[in-house]
A and B are shown apart, each in its own frame.
Chain A
Amino acid sequence: GDSVTQMEGPVTLSEEAFLTINCTYTATGYPSLFWYVQYPGEGLQLLLKATKADDKGSNKGFEATYRKETTSFHLEKGSVQVSDSAVYFCALRATGGFKTIFGAGTRLFVKA
């Protein structure tokens, strides 16, 4: 079945450091890919998405490119801030599918 694997955390970075959170997926067909972020005590917020191969999703300085050849959707940010501390979830949804499949989440801590 479809699945998402993302790097284990926690990831601890200093402010202004470069961030990469790896995400790979297994799916039949051409799913849509998503990154969600969850701040403490809150629900999930959509961070960015990509719906076809080679698409780049971007938002708030975060970027991820849909790589079908490597079945990956790695999240990157050039300069993290303390306010980026949260849990990040990679997810996929098959076109016309009925559920979103999530990775286990990666907790990010950013130190001032």
Chain B
Amino acid sequence: KAGVTQTPRYLIKTRGQQVTLSCSPISGHRSVSWYQQTPGQGLQFLFEYFSETQRNKGNFPGRFSGRQFSNSRSEMNVSTLELGDSALYLCASSVGGLGEGTQYFGPGTRLLVL
């Protein structure tokens, strides 16, 4: 079974631009979560989607948004990029529902904001 895929793997943007990252979950998984990883803050939860609905959101500004499609694929968008948005963005999928919720991670998208 194919794992979680994320595109693109690397991105370079300039301040003020916006960016869209994509995540395709493992087949059959209905939950997708996004995390931001930086050397200073570690792994921080952004949001989780299940069946096209956002179930939970982390403590990030409104510039960070996401959505999930009917095929469970998810996108996250960051508008008006800031230097501090440079990070590795990780997507994780799980079966969803009320189970123990093991999450499987993709390789990440590394975003550099200049």
Contacts and interface: CB of A to CB of B under 8 A. Distances in A.
A102 B43 contact: yes
A39 to B, nearest CB: 10
Contact of A97 (B4, B58, B101, B106): B101
Interface residues of B, number: 24
B84 interface: no
A17 B112 CA distance: 38
A44 B105 contact: yes
Given A95-B98, A95-B100, A36 B105 contact: yes
Contacts of A100: 33, 45, 92, 101, 103
Contacts of B99: 95-96
B-side binding surface: helix, strand, loop or mixed?
strand
B43 A89 contact: yes
Given A96-B98, A100-B33, A43 B106 contact: yes
A98 B55 contact: yes
Interface string B90-114: 1010000011111111111000000
B105 A43 contact: yes
A43 B108 contact: yes
Contacts of A42: 107-108
A61 B4 CA distance: 25
Interface stretch (A20-28, A45-53, A73-81): A45-53
B61 interface: no
B103 A98 contact: no
Contacts of A104: 42
30 contacts: A32-B102, A36-B105, A42-B107, A43-B105, A43-B107, A44-B92, A44-B105, A45-B105, A46-B102, A46-B105, A51-B100, A93-B101, A93-B102, A93-B103, A95-B98, A95-B99, A96-B98, A96-B99, A96-B101, A98-B55, A98-B56, A99-B33, A99-B45, A99-B48, A99-B56, A100-B33, A100-B103, A102-B42, A102-B43, A105-B43
